[in-house]
Copies of this chain bind each other. A is one copy, B any other.
Amino acid sequence: MDNKDKKVPEVVIRRLPRYYRYLQELELSGKTRISSNALSERMGVTASQIRQDFNYFGGFGQQGYGYNVRMLLDEIKDILGVTKGYKAIIVGAGHLGHALANYNGIKNRGFKIVGMFDNDNKKIGSECNGITVMGMEKIRDFIRDNGVDIAMLTLPKDATDRVADMLVDCGIKGMWNFASSELAANLTVPVENVHLSDSLMTLTFKINRNNEKPM
């Protein structure tokens, strides 16, 4: 079955970063090839599901050989756009903004954080991991002059919608939103809403179930 021209389902999209992580680990440990069964076991998905996933992008396996780790990793990097050197700004220079500016997981994947913005006079002018925090009035020119692709929003919930609209107007191509709100679905650019507490509640669900188990 060839899925190549079909719309990629959200569940497949969300598996791609996991493939990326596992393949990177394999490469770091010196593995050059992985059987479709071993990959399946590692990912917790059937080998047939993996084949179907890859078919959305043309398919990368060879019958009887499995997958070439480096090649598969390169393909997935390409699909995920981590080779593009996307430029990002952080909007909101609070603790979370600082945490993102210092987060190696962003730099390692080829993203460049080129600016940081806040409207708090106490924060403007301060430095964070080599980046000087600028006032919000500079954001429009900065995005245009620097060709910024992504805005990482660490703003209070009530400011987020307004700022997001302005950023789209400035030409931002996508937004990574940490406000505990579902950023308006009517935006014309892709948005990823991070709901940290969803993951915390998944944990407590499991703790709860664990406690129910007979001892």
Task: List, in ascending order, chain B residues with CB within 8 A of A206's CB.
Answer: 13, 174, 190, 192
Chain B neighbourhood of A195, CB < 8 A: 17, 21, 105
Name the one of B80, B99, B197 contacting A109, with C-beta atoms under 8 angstroms: B197
B208 contacts A80, C-beta separation under 8 Å: yes
A106 adjacent to chain B (CB < 8 Å): yes
Q: Taking the complex as formed, is A60 at the interface, i.e. its CB lies under 8 A from any CB of chain B? A: no
A168-206: which have CB < 8 Å to B? Answer: 173-176, 180, 182, 189-192, 194-206
CB distance from A57 to the nearest CB of B (A): 11
Shortest Cβ gap from A107 to chain B (Å): 10
Chain A: interface residue total (CB-CB under 8 A): 59
Roughly how many angstroms separate A102 CA and B198 CA in the complex, as a whole number? 17
Cβ of A215 under 8 Å from chain B: no
Judge if A51 is at the interface, Cβ distance under 8 Å: no
Say how far A151's CB is from chain B's closest CB, in angstroms. Answer: 10
Kindly state the separation between the CA atoms of A26 and B51 in the bound complex, as whole angstroms. Answer: 40
CB contact under 8 A between A196 and B197, given known A81-B208, A99-B99: no
> 1/0 per residue A9-48: CB within 8 Å of B?
0010110111011000000000000000000000000000
Residues of A within 8 A of B (CB): 8, 11, 13-14, 16-18, 20-21, 79-82, 84, 86, 94-96, 98-100, 102-106, 108-109, 111, 149-150, 173-176, 180, 182, 189-192, 194-211
